[in-house]
Amino acid sequence: MSCATVELNIPKEIIGQPVIWSLGRLYRVVTNLLRARISAETAIATVSIEGSAGEVEATLNYLRCLHVIDGECSGSLPESPSAAIEQPATIAVRLRTVNPGQAAEPVLNKAARDYRVVINIVYASLDQDEGGVVDILISGALLEVQRTIAFLHTTGISVSPRERSVSDRGNL
């Protein structure tokens, strides 16, 4: 197994895209968010990437092609994996660590692999040593979104809705 830890400086023009989620869908790697300061204006995150040497290198090349990390891009960008997932429902959720150790677990990577949903981080104030808060949008078929949220509840992380409904703003 090979492991790389990189600091992502996500350009403003792609801040709204699920960059970290895409890594685990395009390549056979496990990603873990170690530190992050993400908002609508700025996105800086430290991410560990673990997998075979070839997969880690392919992932790093993808990040270079997105201009998220420094270096020269070789080849072209693959098509976004989010296009392959039907996304009729989107629910905003806030994740808050209950204890700092929870920040060390690759929970979002596991959710992205196990469920047919797109997970986009829209806000984060997280540190692996102290824990923190991450606001995400989970998009996909409603049942898959609900299953993903149910999984997140099993991790011990505090999960709270940022919206009460998918469509009518009523109760879920």
**Bridging pattern class, strands 29-38 and 117-127:** antiparallel
Q: Which domains does the chain have, with CATH numbers?
A: 2-80 (3.30.70.260), 83-161 (3.30.70.260)
Alpha-carbon separation of residue 44 from 22, 23, 163 (angstroms): 16, 16, 25
Helix, strand, coil shares, percent, the chain, to 5: 30, 35, 35
Alpha-carbon separation of residue 13 from 4, 42, 103 (angstroms): 25, 10, 27
The answer, yes or no, to whether residue 110 has pLDDT greater than 50, is yes
Q: Residue 170 — very low, low, confident or very high, per pLDDT cuts 50/70/90?
A: very low
**Summary mean pLDDT of the chain:** 92
- Give residue-wise pLDDT tens across range 1-48: 999 999 999 999 999 999 999 999 999 999 999 999 999 999 999 999
Q: How far is CA 139 from the centre of its chain?
A: 12
Which tokens belong to 40? Answer: 């609508």
